[in-house]
Amino acid sequence: MLLTSLCQATSEVEIGGLLLDNTKSRLGHDFYYEFSQLWRDIPNKEGINAQIIEQIVPRAGTRLSLRLNGQVIYVTHFGRRQSSVKEKVEQAIFILIDAMKRSQYRQDNLDMVGDGW
């Protein structure tokens, strides 16, 4: 009886989507933290993998890119001086939501050809 209840409990667990952090600097970690706060509120993330990748550019700052299921959908640059992270996070989240909507629309609609016509 205990074994069947454990099996039922494990079958009900769902993972809504993955957000991977590949940041290195304090600015990158701040971007990831702010992004992850908004990520939690996005519905319908089943099968969605998002990844934030940071590349440090010597003497220039850092380059952050956001990938959705392996495809780059957003790239931003931060200089060596601190700039507004929240504005760029909001841009990234809006672009992510739009890209998620487009990818789910393509997957759900069998009548649509690749170009939409």
pLDDT digits (tens, 9 = 90+) for 30-66: 999 999 999 998 888 888 899 999 999 888 889 999 9
Q: Tell me what pLDDT residue 6 has.
A: 47
Q: Which CATH class is domain 16-108?
A: alpha beta
3-state secondary structure of 33: helix
Q: Helix, strand, coil: what percent of the chain each, to 5?
A: 40, 25, 35
Residue 87: other Cβ atoms inside 10 A: 10
Residue 50: other Cβ atoms inside 10 A: 22
The confidence band for 117, taking pLDDT boundaries of 50, 70 and 90, is very low
Q: What is the Cα–Cα distance from 64 to 53, expressed in whole angstroms? A: 6
Return the domain boundaries, the chain: 16-108
Burial class (CB in 10 A: 0-12, 13-18, 19+), 80: exposed
